[in-house]
């Protein structure tokens, strides 16, 4: 059988086409780039929209400024002293500890004493409101703590002064202090009355002390001032005073800035799901806030989305928005707005691809900037849009890839299968030594492969015709030689016959001998053709090969009396379906060959062996000169002879060829091998040992 | 006795002349023809005593077969010998089927040819005289008459050619002894390759088997030859 080597998968047509189909991956790549461009244009559109929105809201607020502007406290030039009050979600515990204020700590405001000494008193201010109460958290840095000896005489030690608006434009002052850490006393200056509505707790801290206060909003009425009085010697004059502002008159008190109901109402009608509106005063303090920009996002949970989220970062759950709780905003766009022009800026949220767009627009009342509207929106919408588009893009690309790849694979498989079939067909049609074993029929496919098949078949047919021509050449030559040879022979025979009367010519006798040999050669030349004809009509019968071989052995022993034959034939019967005449003819050739080459006085061994219960091998061994390796394969070809000895027999190198024809007729094969001290020729024949089914 | 007349139909003139010369020297009257038509024109007047035929005559590759069929139609007893360069089994079977008495290839030497011709004439004479056999060779059910070149199996004649008769004769003369192919060739006075001997033996066997399905007296001794198994 011809050996067929399947190409490795990576060298196969299938793999190459699959590789080509990888070019489909350009689709998602192109799509991704398109999406990026889409994102940037969407963002631009979003910025424009956002700016417009900020402008509209600003104009709206400006038109309605009468209703809300006074509520927010001082406008214009009155802003020198203002205190920002943060809205609180939960009321803090009044315990003198800062835990409740941690979130706002960074926004605390520092006030220093007017004195320039390095160890002068200073404090951090934080304030918030919840319902009707104001909460203050004051962190005081004081190197030396001095407590008053009595709660009645608070100005003997460190204390605070809280100034609230009072009657007749005069501020009402309260001294806040305690003789030991704990609840503070609030005593109105002058009257010495204790004000129980003001509650507070005093705790020492590493830097000094901390006071947490609760003051009803009604008492403050929008204005408040706080001073810290530092006493270093009991009863002595204050070493330093730090305050938020002046505290003598109502007008001196700092204005409390806090989001007001009025502005809230104005903003109420605006979309609050995706935008956040902040109204800032000139101090950039938030005086109104509405909406949220970090709604929970429904993230697709399908594997595709998760796969895609690896490629493009997707907004995950609400990320920390630092501006959410700020009481005072800052940024380029805000500064720009305060200078009278609208601006927009883009913030990257930490740890996310989500951006926050912030558009600011000044609120112009009578051509004067009175505040700023800041409208914020995240690019989350765009990202979500991008994500869903990407999802679909990926899905479509994947489907396209699968469909096209599958189609290509199928196509390649079908091509490969056809090519393999073609390959096998022609491999099987031609034997290893190049002879055409059987006819092939071409397919009717109209494509290139069909064309290839037909042209291969045509080549094969032409080759077969040529081979037939070559093979029959000897036969035809022999046939053509026969007539002139007969003329010569019959003429010579006439001469001889005549020579009874004339002189007997030795030349005629020699010539006649020559014609006899020529006849022999011609007969041998025709032998192969005759055998091929005989094979066509040969009948195969079930024969016991052992019996046949035994009979042959005894036959050879009789025919070659001067040569010893060593026959090794198994006892059990080996059945095979074959033409015994032909097998004996083949063995005749091998034995005659062995006889010609064997070393005198050595035995010729005839052995019958079975292999794997299905092949019987008849071996003929003789001691003698070994075979050259390069000739071993060709020995069984037509017209190949190794003999260099001369005798009167013509040797045309057809004997072993006939053996091969006979072996192949029996679906067997022939081979030759060198052995230790001689050569071995063998015929493998299919057989069946008793027990195995035919 | 008048000279026997032999007709040779052979398109190669030199071969024809050689045959004519040789056979004339053997004491026959020999006439040669190169085509079927020439021969038939003469045969219309009188048939010769024996005809030697080539198969291919001129351009007609099967003219010899046609002529043989025609002659056999005219005479059932006329001895006909095919002498041709075509040595395939197919041709020899076809020739013998048409009723030829022998099928020879051209390697045969003239003396061998002459021997066959003589044998055939002897048979014709023996048939005509209808004398009882002088020395029939009888082995079991087989009776061989060397004069008439006839074989009988269980008293039924076996239609053998001269070549086949001589081969069988060689086997039967030494029953139980192996005759090699070379010996058989010598006895039958032909020279062919070994394969043709087995073809001849097969054909003889077949002829006996046609008469008696149990016939198995001709045994192949592989590696040596054949023998008549008693």
* Residue A75: predicted pLDDT: 44
B57 & B119 share domain: yes
Are B106 and B77 within 8 A, CB to CB?
A: no
Q: Where do the structural domains in chain A lie, given as residue ranges?
A: 86-257, 260-386, 448-532, 538-686
Among the ranges given (A442-456, A517-531, A568-582, B38-52), the one the predictor scored with the smallest mean pLDDT: A517-531
- Bridge-partner residues for A605, per DSSP? A566, A621
For B172, residues 6+ apart whose C-beta sits below 8 A from its C-beta are B137, B139, B142, B144, B228
For A538, which residue in chain B has the nearest alpha carbon?
A: B199
| A682 close to A670: Cβ distance less than 8 angstroms | yes
Which DSSP letter does residue A244 get?
S
Asked if A234 contacts A60 with a C-beta cutoff of 8 angstroms, the reply is no
Chain A CB contacts of B22 below 8 Å = 490, 493-494, 497
User: Which residues have CB under 8 Å from B118's CB, separation 6+?
Assistant: none
Min distance A8 CA to chain B CA atoms (Å) = 50
Q: How far apart are the first and last CA of chain A?
A: 22
Interface test with A, best of B25, B202, B222 (most A CBs within 10 A): B222
Question: Is residue A172 predicted with pLDDT exceeding 60?
Answer: yes
Query: Which pLDDT band, with edges at 50, 70 and 90, does B51 fall under?
Result: very high
pLDDT bin (cut points 50, 70, 90) of residue A343 is confident
Residues B45 and B153 both lie in one domain:
no
Q: Is the dihedral of CA A3, A9, A10, A14 positive or negative?
A: positive
Q: What is the mean pLDDT of residues A88-100?
A: 87
In the DSSP assignment, the letter for residue A148 is: -
pLDDT at A298: 46
What pLDDT was estimated at residue B53? 92
Q: In chain A, what are the helix, strand and coil shares in percent, each to the nearest 5?
A: 40, 25, 35
Label residue A315 by pLDDT band (50, 70, 90).
Answer: very low
Q: How far is B85 from chain A (nearest CA, A)?
A: 7
- How are beta strands B5-9 and B50-53 bridged, if at all? parallel
Q: Give the residue, A669 or B230, on which the prediction is more confident.
A: A669
CA-based nearest distance B109→chain A, Å:
7
> Per the CB < 8 Å rule, is B110 touching A522?
no
Kindly tell me if the per-residue pLDDT of A116 is higher than 70. Answer: no
CA–CA separation, A599 and A594 (whole Å): 9
C-alpha angle with apex A293: A290 to A299, nearest 5 degrees? Answer: 150
Q: Could A497 and B25 be called an inter-chain contact, meaning their C-beta atoms sit closer than 8 Å?
A: yes
Q: What is the CATH number of the domain that holds B87?
A: 3.40.50.2300
Q: Which of B12, B88, B223 sits opposite A552 (nearest CB)?
A: B223
Asked whether residue B200 falls in the same domain as residue B86, the answer is no
Residues of A in contact with B90 (CB under 8 A): 533
The domain made up of A260-386 is a member of CATH 3.30.450.20: yes
**Helix, coil or strand: residue B120:** helix
Q: Which of A490, A530, A554 sits opposite B195 (nearest CB)?
A: A530
Residue range A516-529: mean pLDDT, rounded: 81
Among B88, B109, B224, beta carbon nearest to A558: B224
DSSP assignment of B142-186: EEEETTTTEEEETTEEE---HHHHHHHHHHHHSTTS-EEHHHHHH
Six-digit token string for A76 = 């214009």
pLDDT at B8 over 90: yes
Q: Cβ(B201)–Cβ(B164) under 8 Å? A: no
Which residue did the predictor score with more confidence, B15 or A236?
B15
Confidence category of residue A502, pLDDT binned at 50, 70, 90: low
Q: Closest Cα of chain A to B136: distance in Å? A: 31
Please give the average per-residue pLDDT across B64-74, as a whole number. Answer: 91
- A572 falls in which pLDDT band (50, 70, 90)? confident
Q: Name the pLDDT band for A561 (thresholds 50, 70, 90).
A: confident
Examine the fold and report which residue of B128, B152, B177 is the final residue of a domain before the chain moves on.
B128
Report the residue of chain B nearest A490, measured CA to CA: B18
pLDDT at A434 over 70: no
Residues B81 and B157 grouped into a single domain: no
Q: Please state, rounded to an integer, the average pLDDT across all residues of chain A.
A: 80
Please determine, for residue A437, whether its predicted confidence score (pLDDT) is greater than 80.
no
B145 and B101 housed in the same domain? no
Contact A436, A460 (CB under 8 A): yes
Task: Verify that B141 and B117 share a domain, yes or no.
Answer: no
The residue whose two tokens read 């800035």 is: A257
Q: Which CATH number describes the domain made up of A86-257?
A: 2.60.40.1190
For range A256-284, the mean pLDDT: 75
State percent of chain B over pLDDT 70.
Answer: 95
What pLDDT is attached to residue B6? 94
| CB of A607 closer than 8 Å to CB of A618 | yes
CB contact under 8 A, A556 and B224: yes
- Assigned CATH topology for domain A448-532: Helix Hairpins (1.10.287)
**Cα of B46 to nearest chain A Cα, Å:** 28
**CB of A493 within 8 A of CB of A463?**
no
What is the structure's pLDDT at A310? 56
Interface of A with B (CB under 8 A): 479, 482-483, 485-487, 489-491, 493-494, 497-498, 519, 522-524, 526-527, 530-531, 533-534, 537, 548, 551-556, 558-559, 580-581, 583-585, 587-588, 591
Residue B227 above 90 pLDDT?
no
Residue A642 burial class via C-beta count within 10 angstroms: exposed 0-12, middle 13-18, buried 19 and up: middle
Q: Considering only the beta carbons, identify the residue of A479, A527, A585 that sits closest to B85.
A: A479
Do B215 and B208 form a contact (C-beta atoms < 8 A)?
yes
- How large is the average pLDDT for residues A482-496? 86
For an interface test with B, give the residue of A478, A484, A493, A650 to mutate (most B CBs within 10 A): A493
B18 shares a domain with B90:
yes
> Which CATH number covers residue B168?
1.10.10.10
A170 confidence band (pLDDT: 50, 70, 90): confident
B97 & B185 share domain: no
Helix (H, G, I), strand (E, B) or coil at A345: strand
Say yes or no to pLDDT of A2 above 50: no
Using a CB-CB cut-off of 8 Å, the residues of chain B touching A581 are 198, 220
Q: Which residues span the domain enclosing B197?
A: 132-228
Beta bridge partners, B50, equal B6
Mean pLDDT of chain B: 85
3-state secondary structure of A333: helix
Query: pLDDT grade, residue A260 (50/70/90)?
Result: low
Lowest mean pLDDT of A220-224, A388-392, A501-505, name the range: A501-505
Q: Is B192 in contact with B87 (CB distance < 8 Å)?
A: yes
How far apart (Å, rounded) are the C-alpha atoms in residues B138 and B145?
A: 9
Show residues of chain A in contact with B21, CB under 8 Å: 494
> How many structural domains are present in chain B?
2
Per-residue model confidence (pLDDT) at position A379:
79
Q: Give the Cβ contact number of residue A545 at 10 Å.
A: 22
Picking from B21, B192, B223, the nearest residue to A555 by CB comes out as B223
Region A136-160: mean pLDDT is 87
Q: What integer is the mean pLDDT of A305-332?
A: 59
SS3 content of chain B, % helix, strand, coil (to 5): 45, 20, 35
**Neighboring chain A residues of B222 at a CB cutoff of 8 Å:** 548, 551-552, 555, 580, 583-584, 587
Distance from CA of B148 to the nearest CA of A (A): 28
Q: Residue A307: is its pLDDT beyond 70?
A: no
pLDDT tens-digit series, residues A620-630: 998 888 888 77
d(CA A586, CA A582): 6
Q: What pLDDT does A60 receive?
A: 83
Fold annotation for A538-686? Heat Shock Protein 90 (3.30.565)
Q: Identify the domain boundary among B128, B152, B168.
A: B128
pLDDT at A209: 92
- Check whether A294 has a pLDDT greater than 70: no
Nearest CA in chain B to A558: B224
CB contact (8 A) between residue A556 and residue B18? no
Q: Is the pLDDT of residue A10 over 90?
A: no
Cβ contact, residue pair A533, B106, below 8 Å: no
pLDDT tens column, A58-76? 888 888 777 666 555 544 4
Torsion, CA A682, CA A684, CA A688, CA A689, rounded to 10: 30
Between strands B50-53 and A171-177, the pairing is: unpaired
A403 pLDDT higher than 80: yes
Contact B109 A489 (CB under 8 A): yes
Cβ pair A487:B18 closer than 8 A: yes
Question: Do residues B52 and B7 touch, judged by C-beta distance below 8 A?
Answer: yes
Q: Which residues of B touch A (CB under 8 A)?
A: 12, 14-15, 18-19, 21-22, 25, 85-90, 106-107, 109-111, 178, 180, 191-196, 198-199, 220-225
Residue that terminates a domain, selected from B105, B128, B151: B128
Which pLDDT band holds residue B68 (cuts at 50, 70, 90)? very high
The reply to whether B118 and B141 lie within a common domain is no
Averaged over A263-272, what is the pLDDT?
71
Q: How many interchain CB pairs under 8 A, A with B?
A: 108
Residues A213, A198 contacting (CB under 8 angstroms)? yes
> A490, A555, A590, A606: which to substitute to probe chain B, counting the most B Cβ within 10 Å?
A490
Q: Among all residues of chain B, which has the CA nearest to that of A517?
A: B107
CA distances from A334 to A133, A339, A350 (A): 31, 9, 21
Q: What token pair was written down for A415? A: 């091509």
- Tokens for A84, please give them: 């920002």
> What is the distance between the alpha carbons of residues B19 and A213, in angstroms, rounded to a whole number?
156
Starting at the earlier edge strand, list the strands of the sheet with A678-686.
A565-568, A604-611, A615-622, A678-686, A669-675
CB-CB neighbors (< 8 A) of A498 in chain B: 25
Alpha-carbon separation of residue A637 from A92, A579, A627, A670 (angstroms): 111, 22, 15, 11
Smallest CA–CA distance, residue B66 to chain A, in Å, is 22
- Give the Cα separation of B170 and A274 in Å (integer): 123
B193–A490 C-beta distance less than 8 A: no
Rounded to an integer, the average pLDDT of A119-138 is: 87
| B194 contacts A655 by C-beta, under 8 angstroms | no
B22/A588 touch (CB, cutoff 8 Å), yes or no: no
Q: Are residues B112 and B182 in the same domain?
A: no
Q: Is the pLDDT of residue B81 over 70?
A: yes
Do B160 and B114 lie in a common domain? no
Q: Taking the CB of residue A338, how many other CB atoms lie within 10 A of it? A: 19
Please name the member of B85, B89, B109 whose beta carbon is closest to the beta carbon of A483.
B85
Q: Collect all residues of chain B within an 8 Å Cβ-Cβ radius of residue A543.
A: none
Work out the angle at residue B128's Cα, subtended by the Cα atoms of residues B122 and B130, and round it to the nearest 5 degrees: 100
Residue A290 has a pLDDT of: 73
Closest residue of chain A to B86, computed from CA coordinates: A479
Alpha carbon distance B104, B163 (integer Å): 9
DSSP string, A430-462: B-TTS-B-S--------SHHHHHHHHHHHHHHH
A270-280 per-residue burial string, b: 16 or more CB within 10 A, e: under 16: beeeebbbbbb
- Cβ A205 vs Cβ A181: under 8 Å: no
pLDDT tens across A42-51, in order? 888 888 998 9
Beta carbons of A526 and B196 less than 8 Å apart: no
Q: Give the pLDDT score at A77.
A: 41
The values of phi and psi at residue A421, to 5°, are: -65, -45
Is the separation of the CB atoms in A241 and A114 below 8 Å?
yes
Instruction: Please determine, for residue A638, whether its predicted confidence score (pLDDT) is greater than 60.
Output: yes
Rounded to a whole number, what is the distance in Å from the CA of B75 to chain A's nearest CA?
30
Average pLDDT over residues A421-428: 86
Q: Is the pTM of this model over 0.80?
A: no
Q: From the CB of residue A462, how many other CB atoms can be counted at a distance below 10 Å? A: 10
Predicted confidence at residue B145, as pLDDT, reads 84
User: Which three-class secondary structure state does DSSP give residue A372?
Assistant: strand
**Cβ of A580 and B220 within 8 Å?**
yes
Average pLDDT value for residue range A355-382:
84
Quote the pLDDT of residue B82: 92
Cα separation, A666 vs A65, whole angstroms: 115
Q: Do B110 and B152 have their domain in common?
A: no
Report how far apart, in Å, the C-alpha atoms of A457 and of each of A51, A478, A691 are.
79, 31, 43
Q: Are A84 and A328 in contact (CB under 8 A)?
A: yes
């Amino acid at each position: 059988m011809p050996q067929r080597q399947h190409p490795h998968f990576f060298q196969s047509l299938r793999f190459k086409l699959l590789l080509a189909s990888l070019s489909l991956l350009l689709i998602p790549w192109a799509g991704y780039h398109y999406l990026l461009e889409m994102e940037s244009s969407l963002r631009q559109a979003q910025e424009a929209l956002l700016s417009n929105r900020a402008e509209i809201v600003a104009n709206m607020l400006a038109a309605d400024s009468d209703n809300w502007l006074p509520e927010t406290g001082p406008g214009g030039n009155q802003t020198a002293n203002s205190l920002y009050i943060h809205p609180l979600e939960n009321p803090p515990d009044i315990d003198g500890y800062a835990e409740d204020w941690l979130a706002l700590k960074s926004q605390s405001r520092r006030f220093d004493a007017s004195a320039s000494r390095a160890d002068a008193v200073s404090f951090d201010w934080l304030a918030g409101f919840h319902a009707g109460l104001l909460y203050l958290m004051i962190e005081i840095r004081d190197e030396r703590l001095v407590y008053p000896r009595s709660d009645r005489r608070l100005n003997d030690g460190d204390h605070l002064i809280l100034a609230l608006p009072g009657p007749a434009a005069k501020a009402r002052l309260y001294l806040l202090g305690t003789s030991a850490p704990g609840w503070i006393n609030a005593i109105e200056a002058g009257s010495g009355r204790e004000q129980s509505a003001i509650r507070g707790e005093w705790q020492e801290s590493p830097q000094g002390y901390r006071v947490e206060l609760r003051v009803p909003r009604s008492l403050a009425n929008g204005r408040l001032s706080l001073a810290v009085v530092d006493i270093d010697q009991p009863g002595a004059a204050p070493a330093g005073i730090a305050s938020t502002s002046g505290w003598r008159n109502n007008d001196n008190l700092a204005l409390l800035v806090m989001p007001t109901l009025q502005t809230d109402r104005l903003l109420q009608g605006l979309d609050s799901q995706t935008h956040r509106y902040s109204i800032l005063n000139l101090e950039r303090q938030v005086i109104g806030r509405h909406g949220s920009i970090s709604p929970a996002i429904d993230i697709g949970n399908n594997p595709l989305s998760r796969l895609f989220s690896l490629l493009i970062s997707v907004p995950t759950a609400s990320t920390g928005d630092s501006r959410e709780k700020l009481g005072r905003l800052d940024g380029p766009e805000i500064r720009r707005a305060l200078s009278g022009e609208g601006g927009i800026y883009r913030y990257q949220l930490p740890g996310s691809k989500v951006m926050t767009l912030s558009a600011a627009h000044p609120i112009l009342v009578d051509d004067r900037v009175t505040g700023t509207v800041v409208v914020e929106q995240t690019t989350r919408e765009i990202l979500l849009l991008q994500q869903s588009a990407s999802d679909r893009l990926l899905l479509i690309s994947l489907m396209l890839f699968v469909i096209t790849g599958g189609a290509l694979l199928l196509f390649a498989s079908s091509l490969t299968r056809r090519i393999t079939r073609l390959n096998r067909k022609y491999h099987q049609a031609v034997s290893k030594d190049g002879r055409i074993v059987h006819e092939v029929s071409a397919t009717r496919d109209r494509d290139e492969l069909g064309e290839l098949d037909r042209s291969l078949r045509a080549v094969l047919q032409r080759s077969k015709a040529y081979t037939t021509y070559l093979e029959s050449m000897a036969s035809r030559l022999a046939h053509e030689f026969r007539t002139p040879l007969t003329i010569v022979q019959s003429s010579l025979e006439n001469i001889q016959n005549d020579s009874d009367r004339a002189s007997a010519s030795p030349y005629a006798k020699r010539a006649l001998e020559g014609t006899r040999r020529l006849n022999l050669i011609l007969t041998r030349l025709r032998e192969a053709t005759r055998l091929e004809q005989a094979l066509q009509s040969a009948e195969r019968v079930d024969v016991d090969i052992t019996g046949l071989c035994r009979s042959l052995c005894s036959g050879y022993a009789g025919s070659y009396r001067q040569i010893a034959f060593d026959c090794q034939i198994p006892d059990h019967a080996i059945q095979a379906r074959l033409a015994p005449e032909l097998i004996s003819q083949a063995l005749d050739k091998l034995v005659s060959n062995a006889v010609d080459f064997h070393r005198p006085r050595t035995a010729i061994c005839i052995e019958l062996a079975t292999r794997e219960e299905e092949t019987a091998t008849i071996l003929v061994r003789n001691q003698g000169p070994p075979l050259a390796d390069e000739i071993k394969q060709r020995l069984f070809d037509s017209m190949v002879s190794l003999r260099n000895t001369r005798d009167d027999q013509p040797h045309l190198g057809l004997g072993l060829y006939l053996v091969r024809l006979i072996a192949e007729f029996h679906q067997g094969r022939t081979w030759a091998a060198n052995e230790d001290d001689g050569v071995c020729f063998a015929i493998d024949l299919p057989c069946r040992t008793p027990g195995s089914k035919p | 006795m008048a000279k026997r007349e032999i007709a040779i139909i052979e398109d190669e003139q030199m071969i024809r002349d050689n045959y004519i010369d040789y056979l004339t020297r053997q004491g026959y009257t020999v006439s040669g023809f190169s085509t079927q038509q020439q021969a038939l024109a003469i045969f219309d007047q009188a048939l010769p005593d024996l005809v030697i035929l080539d198969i291919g005559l001129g351009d007609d590759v099967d003219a010899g077969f046609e002529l043989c069929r025609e002659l056999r139609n005219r005479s059932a007893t006329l001895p006909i010998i095919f002498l041709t360069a075509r040595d395939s089994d197919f041709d020899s079977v076809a020739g013998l089927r048409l009723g030829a008495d022998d099928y020879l290839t051209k390697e045969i030497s003239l003396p061998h040819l002459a021997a066959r011709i003589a044998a055939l004439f002897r048979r014709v004479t023996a048939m005509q005289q209808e004398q009882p056999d002088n020395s029939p060779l009888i082995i079991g059910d087989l009776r061989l008459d060397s004069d008439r070149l006839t074989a009988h199996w269980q008293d039924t004649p076996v239609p053998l050619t001269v070549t086949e008769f001589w081969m069988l004769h060689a086997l039967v003369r030494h029953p139980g002894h192996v005759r090699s192919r070379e010996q058989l060739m010598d006895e039958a006075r032909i020279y062919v390759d070994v394969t043709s001997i087995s073809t001849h033996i097969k054909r003889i066997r077949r002829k006996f088997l046609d008469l008696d399905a149990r016939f198995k007296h001709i045994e192949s001794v592989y590696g040596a030859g054949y023998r008549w198994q008693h």
